[in-house]
Amino acid sequence: MEPGDSDTARSAFSDKTFVFEESTTAPKKMGARKTEQPKTWNVRSRFHRAKKAKTARSSKPKTKGKKAEGKQPPNRSKTTSPDMSEDISWPKDFCRQQEGELRWKMFTDDEYANWKAFKDNDCKVPLRSVFSYLQVKPYPVAIGNVPRKKSVPSVLADMVDGNHGAYTRIQIGDQRFQCIPSLLKCYSVWFSNRDWRMTRFEFWEEEVPASGFAALYDWMRTKQLPEFKVAVATLQAARHLRVPLLEKDCWQVLSTDEVREKRAFLVFLEAKELPALGEVCEVMLSRLRNYFLALVGSPEFLDLEIQVLEILLRQDAIGVNSEMEVFFTVLRWLGHSVEPSRLPYMRRLMNYVRFHHMPMTFLFSLRESINRADKDELFRPDPVLLAFNRDPDTMASLEQAISFIGVRCQYDDIDEFLAVCEDHRIGVVYPRQWVYHPNCPYHHSRLTFPYQHRFTVTEFTEYVTSIQEVWAGEGPADHGRSLVRDMDKDPMLRRQNDWDE
């Protein structure tokens, strides 16, 4: 057993165990004042201690029940360990073991400098923490609670939202815009092809509308679709600056079911002033049906270009109840007093009038007026009718239409009629999709071939003028669906649709 007040440690380089004990260098006297004595360290190897214990047991006389006589107790004043009481040379052994196996000392730089001598000394380092024998004052360390850094995407998003770093200036008319150059070059092919050192740009209002560019830049920053009222201007800016992604979004805004009839015509009026939106104009004109007769009676109709009127007249689904209304529409546009005169466009527009589907009685009246000898005097007050009756191609168009109507009246079967037209090389002209206006006094609710409409140009003008109030502003909320009713398709038109399918 090891002493109770001892410490043990194992050397890293030996299998020996060191025992540390407290002892005093002098015996205590009775009644003397108790003072703290210096400590000494008694180091013994485990092997040495075991050997001493074995020797002591072998030399002890075997007595039972009493102590050996003449045996004196060991002198406790000479040593603190009973096992080493008879070994007077233990201080030397202790010093030798301390020097050979464990040195409690501080090494100097000079000793480290002579590495060979330091290595030969075979110095050992105690297996104790340096904080067990050094007084260390606690030194509190303050660790700042630094907030977490933002990620790069969030920093860029904040930069775009706040329009930070916008040092590129765009001048459009009297308006100026501060823009982020990298954002413009990311979406616009036009800006990406410019010199990166350029920071000032100026555009014409016709090429890049200011309202359109503002919506374009907001779209780049927020990805929000432009509003309907600026969709046309935004599309023009996107076309000029070559932003294809925004073009698709603008078409999405303009392709809703709400953009038709009067609203589609208003979009057309805005788009026709912009050079890059010819396609938009044609698409918007194709959405006019219920509004067609109201358009003919409006002041805007008289100011349309010849190309726009041609787009309208070639459509099959304009909202008319008779081809006579198309004929009177052409006369109304030609008779508008402008300089130069529109009469040279007479034949060009009459080619879009489908005389083959006019009432036979009306065709006879037109042919009779052409054959009158006094037609010059009769139509002198109306230059348009005079030009129509003087046109040499007018009579040929009327004769072909009359022949077509006569042949069709002889055949109830459409396939048989079309075969006859092909055999005799008779030109086939298909009708339009007729509609019925309940408020129109001369419209027919049921149509059968040959058509039997009878009304004058005065009645036509009065009706198209009377419905202007209904179509004021953007027109009715239902885009005129309650004002117009679709008619059954003509058998020839149904056959044409079957072939197209």
Q: Which residues contact 364 (CB under 8 A, 6 or more apart)?
A: 402
Q: Where are the domains of the chain?
A: 89-129, 155-287, 291-501
Q: Are 21 and 81 in contact (CB under 8 A)?
A: yes
Query: Which segments of 410-482 does DSSP mark as H helices, in order?
Result: 414-423, 457-466
Supply φ then ψ for residue 4, to 5 degrees. Answer: -70, -30
Burial 87-115 (b: 16+ CB within 10 A, else e): eeebeeebeebeeebbeeeeeeeeeeeee
For residues 285 and 412, what is the distance between their CA atoms, to the nearest angstrom? 35
- Amino acid symbol at 327: F
Question: What is d(CA 411, CA 420) in angstroms, rounded to the nearest whole number?
Answer: 9
Q: What's the pLDDT tens digit per position in 142-190?
A: 877 777 888 888 888 888 888 999 999 999 999 999 999 999 999 999 9
Q: Which residue, 205, 178, 323, 219, is CA-closest to 273?
A: 205
Please report, as a single letter, which amino acid is at residue 306. Answer: I
pLDDT in the model for residue 75: 47
Helix then strand then coil, in percent of the chain rounded to 5, is 45, 5, 50
* Contact predicate 215/250, CB 8 Å: no
Closest CA to 213 of 253, 262, 160, 176: 176
Give me the half-sphere count of Cα atoms (radius 13 Å) on the Cβ side of residue 467. 25
18 beta partners: 9
User: What is the token pair recorded at 152?
Assistant: 């790069």
Identify the segments of the chain with pLDDT beneath 70. 1-91, 93-112, 115, 118, 121-134, 136, 499-501
Secondary structure (3-state) at 315? coil
β 485-486/435-436 pair status: antiparallel
List, in order, residues 6 or more apart from 250 with CB less than 8 Å away: 226, 231, 232, 234, 235, 238
Any idea which residue has 């009629």 for tokens? Answer: 417
Largest CA distance in the chain: 181
Phi-psi region of 70 (alpha: psi -120 to 50; beta: other; left: phi over 0): left
The pLDDT value given to residue 63:
47
457 CB burial (10 A radius; 0-12, 13-18, 19+): middle
The two structure tokens encoding residue 62: 């075997």
Distance CA 497, CA 501 (A): 6
Q: What is the DSSP string of 372-384?
A: -TTHHHHSTT-HH
Length of the chain: 501
Nearest residue to 84 (alpha-carbon basis) of 123, 52, 124: 52
The answer to whether 300 touches 277, Cβ cutoff 8 Å, is: no
Which residue intervals of 303-359 are DSSP H helices? 306-313, 323-334, 346-350
For the segment 398-444, what is each residue's pLDDT rounded down to a tens digit?
999 999 999 999 998 998 999 999 898 888 999 999 999 999 999 99
Q: Quickly name the fold that domain 155-287 has.
A: Potassium Channel Kv1.1; Chain A (3.30.710)
Strands 17-21, 6-10: pairing is: antiparallel
The pLDDT, as a whole number, for residue 124 is: 58
Taking the whole predicted model, whether its pTM rises above 0.75 is answered as no
The per-residue pLDDT for 33 is 46
